[in-house]
């Protein structure tokens, strides 16, 4: 029996997105099949790394379409991508250190459930926006697309601003203000700052165990 079967519910009528979703499903199915057929932890670990690369590439492509079309809820959508990446990376890190620490069947079930929910809910809302259909007004207030001249000047409307008070060395004030302005503006420079501040590669085993607790034995 196929672990994840393509369903009409997953068809979003956006060729590139549908094709990438099918590719992701193929990779997860191959991972589940390798696990069932007794592949060793090194082979499974390599497959996991490849899976995350393909999924991250899909996320980046999807987010580029969101920017191109001024999707007003892309902040919340990108956060789902970011959290998924953290969960998967944490599980991979723990699995690499001790394959027995991760319940692989639970991990596979997590991948299947997350992908299903993300496609039929979050991605479907995004595609509905692209086609001019219903907006998720019951979840977030409808927001008109930003004029091109303002794109990148304002933060995502679904990402509320907060005032932060902290003490820093005077010599760092200019840098701090610059970073704050970039984060408020959003866009590629803000994403780069977030990647520097929260790089997956620096995650410790203790942090990974906290992030992926639900996937551990």
pLDDT at residue 52 tops 60:
yes
pLDDT at residue 155 tops 60:
no
Can you give the pTM of this predicted structure? Answer: 0.71
Q: Where do the domains of the chain lie?
A: 8-143+204-215
**How far apart are alpha carbons 183 and 191 in whole angstroms?**
8
pLDDT at residue 65 tops 80:
yes
**How far apart are alpha carbons 54 and 14 in whole angstroms?**
18
Residue 166: per-residue pLDDT: 78
Give the model's confidence band at 147: pLDDT under 50 very low, under 70 low, under 90 confident, else very high. Answer: very low
Give the model's confidence band at 138: pLDDT under 50 very low, under 70 low, under 90 confident, else very high. Answer: very low
- Name residue 102's beta-bridge partners: 216
**How far apart are alpha carbons 180 and 73 in whole angstroms?**
21
Predicted confidence (pLDDT) per residue in 70-112, tens digit: 898 888 899 899 999 999 999 988 998 888 888 999 999 999 9
**Other beta carbons less than 10 A from residue 149's beta carbon:** 7
Residue 152: per-residue pLDDT: 42
pLDDT at residue 141 tops 90:
no
Tell me how far CA of residue 59 lies from CA of 13, 151, 154, 177, in angstroms. 17, 20, 22, 29
**How far apart are alpha carbons 119 and 113 in whole angstroms?**
10
Cβ proximity of 200 and 85 under 8 Å? yes
Backbone dihedral region for residue 94 (phi beyond 0: left; psi -120 to 50: alpha; all else: beta):
alpha
What's the average model confidence in pLDDT over 36-58? 93
Residue 207: per-residue pLDDT: 83
Give the model's confidence band at 151: pLDDT under 50 very low, under 70 low, under 90 confident, else very high. Answer: very low
Residue 158: per-residue pLDDT: 54
Tell me how far CA of residue 186 lies from CA of 67, 106, 144, 156, in angstroms. 11, 36, 17, 7
**Mean of all residue pLDDT scores within the chain:** 81
Q: Who wins on pLDDT, 165 or 45?
A: 45
Q: Who wins on pLDDT, 193 or 123?
A: 123
* The token pair that represents 212 in the structure block: 């992926």
What topology does CATH give the domain 8-143+204-215? 1.20.120
């Amino acid at each position: 029996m196929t672990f994840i079967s393509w369903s009409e519910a997953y068809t979003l009528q956006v060729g590139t997105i549908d094709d990438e979703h099918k590719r992701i499903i193929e990779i997860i199915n191959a991972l589940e099949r390798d696990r069932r057929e007794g592949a060793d932890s090194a082979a499974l670990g390599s497959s996991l790394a490849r899976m995350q690369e393909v999924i991250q590439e899909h996320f980046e492509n999807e987010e580029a379409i969101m920017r191109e079309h001024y999707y007003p809820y892309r902040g919340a959508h990108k956060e789902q991508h970011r959290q998924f990446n953290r969960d998967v990376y944490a599980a991979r890190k723990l699995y690499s250190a001790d394959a027995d620490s991760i319940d692989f069947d639970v991990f596979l079930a997590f991948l299947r459930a997350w992908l299903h929910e993300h496609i039929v809910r979050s991605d479907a809302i995004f595609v509905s926006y692209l086609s001019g259909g219903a907006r998720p007004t019951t979840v977030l207030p409808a927001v008109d697309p930003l004029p091109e001249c303002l794109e990148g000047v304002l933060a995502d409307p679904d990402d509320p601003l907060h005032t932060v008070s902290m003490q820093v060395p005077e010599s760092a004030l200019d840098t701090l203000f610059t970073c704050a302005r970039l984060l408020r503006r959003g866009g590629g420079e803000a994403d780069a700052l977030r990647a520097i501040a929260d790089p997956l590669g620096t995650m410790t085993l203790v942090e990974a165990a906290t992030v992926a607790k639900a996937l551990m034995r």
